Amino acid sequence: MDNFPLVTIITPTYKGSETLFGAISSILIQTYTSIEYILIDDGTKGFNKELVENFIEKNKRDNLVKYCVLVNKRNIGTVKTFNNALKISSGEYIFNLADDDEFYDENVLFDWVNEFIKTGESIITGNRIVYDNSLLNVITKEPNDLDKEFIKNSSPEDLFEKMAGYNMVFGCSTARKKSLLDSVDGFDERYRIIEDYPSNLRFLRMGIRIHYFDRDVVKYRLGGISFSERVDNRYFRESDKIFKNEIAPYVKNKVSAKEKYKDWSNKVRYLNRKKELETLFSKYPNNKMARFFIYLGYSFRHPLHVMKRYIDDPAIIFKKLR
């Protein structure tokens, strides 16, 4: 690339102290030559702004053209926080890096921007590699092969129909032109914690293509802050609201879309409760009595989940109590 347009990386953070510096480090090692970095804390009690600024100052290189660390006076949610950063951003392309994720390697931004310039696209999505909470063990790669091919070969209209039940274009692995985001006043603030899915659906309805870039771009921490605290009742209420506002009025086959959405919702609830139980058990690896009472209490809170697991594997209770 002869010209290196300024790019902006935005990190909305909330209670992310344990993982935040890993995210920042993955930005500071980038080989891309013109970076603006905006980090906004969403009202974390005791957030140490000076510590973060000192870390950036100590480790930055000449390619970090400018940066700022901001703190919301109160918690306003991911969507408004991201939009506040977007309003003061200067980059031609906008990248979102959560406080518990990391760029996949030091050349991600260089390759990603090159893909923007080469294709002229406004939205480019790549692969997220899903890791466990330690960011050491790979769990899976997303989007899966079928979804990948659909994104690559579908018109915006067809991709909208496909995404009417679940999102396959993830915020952590998707970048957009700032001019496109500015044209719709950023992300939709009717939603508090989910910014990517409504935005994807809106742009597809506008006929804007989402380009697939076959490149691993981010290490996504499953079980990290952005996952464990967002997948709760608020998350599902907001997901229901998105379906009602962004999908139901526009999708061709409402019955099929509703069934796909229900299947996705049930799957996520199941996986979330499974992780909750495994997390509780991990605190008492050798205490059978504690594990018994944990399982008993969990059974009263989530009887349907326990019943499903028992039907799938009748010996599950004995395995868990070992």
Neighbours of 274 (CB within 10 A): 14
pTM of the model: 0.85
- Does one domain contain both 273 and 203? no
What confidence tens digit (pLDDT) does each residue in 97-154 have?
999 999 999 999 999 999 999 999 999 999 999 998 889 999 999 999 999 999 999 9
The rounded radius of gyration (Å) of the Cα atoms in the chain is 21
145 plus 262 within the same structural domain:
no
Could you count the other beta carbons within 10 Å of the beta carbon of residue 105? 15
Q: How remote is the C-alpha of 177 from its chain's centroid?
A: 18
CATH number at residue 197: 3.90.550.10
- Number of residues in the chain: 322
Identity at 187, one-letter amino acid code:
F
Final residue of a structural domain among 246, 272, 299:
246
Domain limits for position 278: 253-321
- The tally of domains found in the chain comes to 2
Do 227 and 277 lie in one domain? The reply is: no
Q: Is residue 1 part of a domain?
A: no
Q: Out of 246, 278, 313, pick the residue that ends a domain.
A: 246
Which tens digit of pLDDT belongs to each residue from 57-106?
999 999 999 999 999 999 999 999 999 999 999 999 999 999 999 999 99
* Euclidean distance between CA atoms 9 and 294, whole angstroms: 42
pLDDT score, position 227: 46
